[in-house]
Amino acid sequence: MKCPFCAYPESKVVDSRPSDEGSSIRRRRECLSCSRRFTTYETVEFVPIVVVKKDGRRQSFDRSKILNGMLRACEKRPVPVDTLEEIANRIEQDLQSSMEHEIRSEAIGEIVMRYLRNLDQVAYVRFASVYRQFQDIGSFMSELNELMSDR
């Protein structure tokens, strides 16, 4: 790390602490040339995720879209919002750790459905009916039958 005072390229770390609720590290450094101290912050650099829509358009990943979809599916259901926030965080972390720069919207929908299926079956069916665009009662019933057979 280059010293901001004398531009010397070497410094030593005097103190390190977590910052911003553990999302970054605050480091107190001392220049090996002029002995002045300065502070640096170290954070993880995330690769932006691009979502490829069904029609081929590309959009930046937006965690709030996942959360809003789950909130609509869980409307009037006994599912705490904190749980949905946690699921949205897990999904975003999974996507970041996959190291894929582009992901299809269908894959994201399947991940959301997997979480909802384990969380609340009514919310799962609601989400699946919109996501899979059920056209008639037959497609709706086949999803319900599959859900019942998994029990």
Q: What are the boundaries of each domain within the chain?
A: 11-43, 50-150
* Least confidently predicted of 43-52, 81-90, 97-106, 124-133: 124-133
Alpha-carbon distance of 25 to 58, in angstroms, equals 33
Alpha-carbon distance of 87 to 66, in angstroms, equals 9
Contacts 24+ apart (CB under 8 A), 90-96: 90/115, 91/63, 91/66, 91/115, 92/61, 92/63, 92/66, 95/49, 95/61, 96/46, 96/47, 96/49
Q: Hey, what are 25's tokens? A: 């590290």
pLDDT tens figures, 60-72: 999 999 999 999 9
**3 state DSSP class of 86:** helix
pLDDT tens figures, 1-32: 899 999 999 999 999 999 877 778 999 999 99
**3 state DSSP class of 42:** strand
